[in-house]
Amino acid sequence: MGRISILPRESTFTETESVGVEDASLPLQYMSDYSILALRVDKFETAQSVLEDEHFQLNGTSAGLDVIVKDIGHLQIIVHLLETHGINVELTDIVAQIYQG
């Protein structure tokens, strides 16, 4: 089981704030590119309401929501559900840069 963040398309955070990283466990001695994926939506409040109505497990964050996902199929259900409610969804990397030296 994992989680994915849902953020408003026009978020107020800057790229240097690394939203989504604050409680992430970064691997030790990680030597490759690292990313954290999130769903950016154009109608954030509507997306939250739709997910609440469908009884998804949500946790509020400083920038948006975290949604608990069981597997990739569960993520596909979330994307499809939001799109059927007229919400534009974009899967995107939200980590500007991470360097481990």
Q: What is the mean pLDDT of each run of 10 residues along the chain (101 residues)?
A: 87 51 56 76 96 93 88 93 97 69 51
CATH number of 1-8+42-101: 3.30.70
Model pLDDT, residue 16: 44
> Crossing angle of helices 72-84/44-53, nearest 10°?
120
- Which secondary structure element, helix H or strand E, spans residue 44, and what is its range? helix 44-53
Instruction: Look at the pTM and tell me if it is higher than 0.85.
Output: no
Beta bridge partners of 40: 7, 90
User: Residue 51: helix, strand or coil by DSSP?
Assistant: helix
Per-residue pLDDT at 27: 58
Secondary element (H or E) of residue 7: strand 2-8
Give the pLDDT of residue 12.
54
User: How many whole angstroms from its chain centre is CA 39?
Assistant: 5
Q: What is the pLDDT of residue 100?
A: 54
